[in-house]
Amino acid sequence: MTLNELRYIVAVAQERNFRRAAEKSFISQPALSLAIQKLEE
Protein backbone atom coordinates (compact mmCIF):
# COMPACT_ATOMS: atom_id res chain seq x y z
CA MET A 1 0.00 0.00 0.00
CA THR A 2 1.38 3.38 -0.98
CA LEU A 3 0.94 6.69 0.79
CA ASN A 4 -1.33 7.93 -2.00
CA GLU A 5 -3.55 4.87 -1.69
CA LEU A 6 -3.83 5.49 2.04
CA ARG A 7 -4.77 9.11 1.33
CA TYR A 8 -7.49 7.92 -1.07
CA ILE A 9 -8.99 5.69 1.62
CA VAL A 10 -8.96 8.54 4.13
CA ALA A 11 -10.54 10.94 1.61
CA VAL A 12 -13.37 8.50 0.85
CA ALA A 13 -13.95 7.91 4.56
CA GLN A 14 -14.03 11.65 5.29
CA GLU A 15 -16.16 12.67 2.33
CA ARG A 16 -18.37 9.54 2.22
CA ASN A 17 -18.62 10.22 -1.50
CA PHE A 18 -16.30 8.99 -4.25
CA ARG A 19 -16.75 12.05 -6.48
CA ARG A 20 -15.89 14.54 -3.74
CA ALA A 21 -13.03 12.35 -2.50
CA ALA A 22 -11.62 12.24 -6.02
CA GLU A 23 -11.84 16.03 -6.33
CA LYS A 24 -10.12 16.41 -2.96
CA SER A 25 -7.38 13.99 -4.11
CA PHE A 26 -6.97 15.73 -7.49
CA ILE A 27 -7.70 12.56 -9.49
CA SER A 28 -10.65 11.43 -11.58
CA GLN A 29 -13.48 9.49 -9.97
CA PRO A 30 -12.88 6.40 -12.16
CA ALA A 31 -9.18 6.41 -11.19
CA LEU A 32 -10.10 6.62 -7.50
CA SER A 33 -12.62 3.81 -7.84
CA LEU A 34 -10.04 1.63 -9.59
CA ALA A 35 -7.41 2.32 -6.91
CA ILE A 36 -9.84 1.39 -4.14
CA GLN A 37 -10.96 -1.72 -6.04
CA LYS A 38 -7.34 -2.89 -6.40
CA LEU A 39 -6.78 -2.40 -2.67
CA GLU A 40 -9.80 -4.55 -1.88
CA GLU A 41 -8.27 -7.54 -3.70
pLDDT of residue 25: 96
Q: Residue 4's pLDDT band (boundaries 50, 70, 90)?
A: very high
Residues 8-40: tens digit of each pLDDT: 999 999 999 999 999 999 999 999 999 999 999
Rg, C-alpha atoms of the chain: 9
- Report the pLDDT value the prediction gives residue 13, as an integer from 0 to 100: 98
Q: What's the pLDDT score for residue 5?
A: 95
User: Which backbone phi and psi does 16 adopt, to 5 degrees?
Assistant: 55, 30
Domain range enclosing 14: 3-40
Domain count, the chain: 1
pTM of the model: 0.86
According to the model, what pLDDT value does residue 20 have?
A: 98
CATH number for the domain that contains residue 36 = 1.10.10.10
Q: Which of 15, 19, 41 is nearest to 32 (CA)?
A: 19
